[in-house]
Amino acid sequence: MPIYNISYRDKEQDKLINLELGRPYSILDKIKIGGVGSRRMVLEGFSSEVKSLKSKVSGLQYGSIEIRPKGIILHINRGLDVFAWTIPFYHLSIFNGNSLKIHGGADYVQFAKEKSWEENRGFFERLLRLKSKFHEELIS
């Protein structure tokens, strides 16, 4: 799963992301779904393959999730740069324990479960519902 530096607009990157995950939802679809973006969450850990996204200075680092028709974009801030890790639904796994882990294939990022977890509970329910719907449509 590719990681893009989206700090500055790049039409070629936008095309690649849209090809992989589908175009962003329209405003009307976003309202029907109930929103497609999470609130920001505190990042706690990274797998070795995505460790390059870890901030090099101490302090809290944040990330958020955007739902697309065929997957998610994990937005990660590192200093002044913003990175987008695209994860198609067929590679996406979510593990909910003492922390929240988002896996894309063998790689993952880990979020702290603090007050943002309660704020994002409805978002994750929508995400899992849309992922399930995507898989059902693939089968039929």
The domains of the chain are located at: 3-42+55-91+113-139
pLDDT of the residue at 131: 92
Model pTM score: 0.90
Write out pLDDT tens, residues 25-74.
999 999 998 999 999 999 888 887 777 777 766 678 889 999 999 999 99
**What pLDDT score was predicted for residue 36?**
93
pLDDT for the residue 56: 67
CA–CA distance, 51 with 108 (Å, rounded to integer): 9
For position 54, what pLDDT does the model report? 75
Q: When comparing pLDDT for 118 and 10, which is higher?
A: 10
